[in-house]
Amino acid sequence: MTSTLTISQLTKSFSEVKALDAVSLTVEPGSRVALLGHNGAGKSTMMKIILGLIPFESGTVEVCGAAPGSAAARTQVAYLPENAAFHPALTGQEQIAHYLSLRGESPGQALALLNRVGLHEAAKRRIGTYSKGMRQRVGLAQALIGKPRLLVLDEPTSGLDPVSRRDFYALLDGLAAEGAAILLSSHALTEVEARTDRILILSQGRMVASGTLADLRRMAALPVSLHVTARNGYASEIAAALPGAIRAEGDVRLNCAQDEKLGLLARITGFGDKVADIEMVPPSLEDIYSHFSRRDGQ
Partner 1 sequence: MMNRILATARTEFRIALRNRWVAIAVVLMALFALVLSAAGSAPTGDLGVDRLSVTVASLTSLAVYLVPLVALLMSFDAVAGEVERGTLPLLLTYPVARAEILVGKLLAHLAVLALAVAVGYGLAAAAAFWADPASLSGLPALARLGWSSLLLGATFLGAGYALSSLARRPSGAAGLAMGLWLGAVVLYDLGLLAAVVADDGGWFTTTAFPFALLANPADAFRLYNLAASEATAAAAGVAGAANTIPLWQSAASVLLWPLLALALATAAFRKVTP
Contact footprint for partner 1 (CB under 8 A): 48, 51-54, 71, 74-75, 77-79, 81, 83-90, 94, 98-99, 101-104, 107, 139, 142
Output 157 or 293, the one with its CB closest to partner 1: 157
Q: 256 in helix, strand or coil?
A: strand
Q: Which amino acid does the sequence have at 298?
A: Q
Tell the smallest beta-carbon distance from residue 87 to partner 1 (Å): 6
Neighbouring CB atoms inside 10 A of 226's CB total 20
Spatial distance between the Cα atoms of 30 and 5, rounded to a whole number of angstroms = 12
Min dist. Cβ of residue 137 to partner 1 (A): 14
Tell me the CA end-to-end span of the chain in Å, nearest whole number. 39
Residue 175 or 242 with smaller CB distance to partner 1: 175
Bridge partners for 25 per DSSP: 7
Q: Of 10 and 189, which CB lies nearer to partner 1 in the complex structure?
A: 10
**Choice between 99 and 292, CB closer to partner 1:** 99
DSSP H or E run through 8? strand 5-14
Closer CB to partner 1, 48 or 253, in the complex: 48
Q: How far apart are CA 79 and CA 142, in angstroms?
A: 8
Phi (first) and psi of residue 161, to 5 degrees: -75, 165
Q: How far is the CB of 23 from partner 1 (least distance, A)?
A: 20
- In the chain, helix, strand, coil percent, each to 5? 40, 30, 35
* Phi, psi for 220 (deg, rounded to 5): -70, -35
Q: How many residues does the chain have?
A: 298
Least distance from partner 1 to the Cβ atom of residue 268, Å: 56
Q: Which is closer to partner 1, CB of 51 or CB of 239?
A: 51
Q: How far is the CB of 94 from partner 1 (least distance, A)?
A: 7
Q: Report, in Å, the least distance between residue 213 CB and partner 1.
A: 30
